[in-house]
Structures are given as structure tokens and as C-alpha cells.
Amino acid sequence: MRRLVLSGVLGLVAACGSSGSSSGTIDGFFPADNEVSGWTLSGAGGVEVCDGATAENCTLNLVDGDAQPFIDVGMKAFGRATYAKGATGLQLRIYEMTDATTCSALYDDIVVEDALYATYTWETIPLGEGGRIADRTDRWWINTISGPYFVEALVDEATAADPAARADGLAFVTAVVAGM
């Protein structure tokens, strides 16, 4: 699997884990090709990781501002990769927070306090230490937490409320969280 570590200001996006693992391992949570049945990395960037002193600027550039709520409460690292399974695309985002307590509080607060998250109706699902899913019409949005990790997946839908895309996305995120 290709990994690209981004540093400096570049011109260019839920699970929280109990282990408190260092930001040096965040890229290890991204599955290799076919590690999750049928899913392969797509796109030229491979796994993109932002950490250390440049994490804030790097992450803001990668996710076009969607990371601000994470940065505001102490994000340590961020990783992103795009996958494909047949015609279905999935973007996996993992935010490493300073600790599990901060991650859990963010998970609870973000759907109320952040305008983007508050726009959608979230369904609670059994995933990680807290899971939810929203149908954004064009894609499913899955959030979960595991310790200090907030995991998000954006899963493209062939049609509104596409059950196959939902099932495939949930299976993918479940495998990611199981590996944390």
C-alpha cells in the first residue's frame, strides 16, 4: 500500500481507540487492497497522513475546512484514503484526538454544534464505541469512535438510500474498527 506523508503547508476529511496509540501508526489503520473483501485503494494519493507540527494546515487543505471541529478540540493526526469496490466509492477519514475522553465528547457534540453535521438525521448503529449513519442522498455518511480515534466514511450511493452501498460501507468500517 502506498503511503504519502504530507508535511508543510500544502496547496491542496468516525473511530476513537482505547490504546492511545501514537500518531505514527495512524496510517496502519487503513486497509491494503482486498484486505477488506473487494475494496481496493483508488486515486493517486494512496493513504495521506497529516501529523506533527503541520497537521492542522495539512488537514484543512485535504478536507476543505471540514476538519475545523476536530482541530478546535486538539486533533493530533489525520489520515485519508479513497477506496473502490466495483462502482461504489468510499473515502475513509481517521482523526486521532488527544485522548479518548476528548474524542467521545466531540462525537456527542458535533452533531448538535457543527452546522454540517446538524443538517442530517443520524441513525444510531452498533459500531465501535458509538456509531451512527446518515443518508446524504448522494452518499452514506458513517461515523464511529474507538479510543482516541474518530472514524468517518463517505460511501457513494448509486441511488438514494442505496442498501447495497450502505451494507458495503458498514462492513468496511466494521473491519477498520476491528483492526484498531
Model confidence over 108-147: pLDDT tens digits? 999 999 999 999 999 999 999 999 999 988 899 999 999 9
CB–CB of 25/175 below 8 Å?
no
* Every domain of the chain and the residues it spans: 13-19+38-178
Is 4's pLDDT higher than 80? no
Terminal C-alpha separation, the chain: 18
The model carries a pTM of 0.84
Topology of the domain covering 13-19+38-178:
Protein Transport Mog1p; Chain A (3.40.1000)
Return the half-sphere exposure (C-beta side, CA atoms, 13 A cut-off) of residue 166: 13
More confident residue, 65 or 106: 106
pLDDT per position as a tens digit, 28-84: 999 999 999 999 999 777 898 888 777 778 877 777 667 889 988 989 999 999 999
pLDDT per position as a tens digit, 136-175: 888 999 999 999 999 999 999 877 778 999 999 999 999 9
- Please state, in angstroms and rounded to a whole number, the distance separating the CA atoms of residues 18 and 178: 12
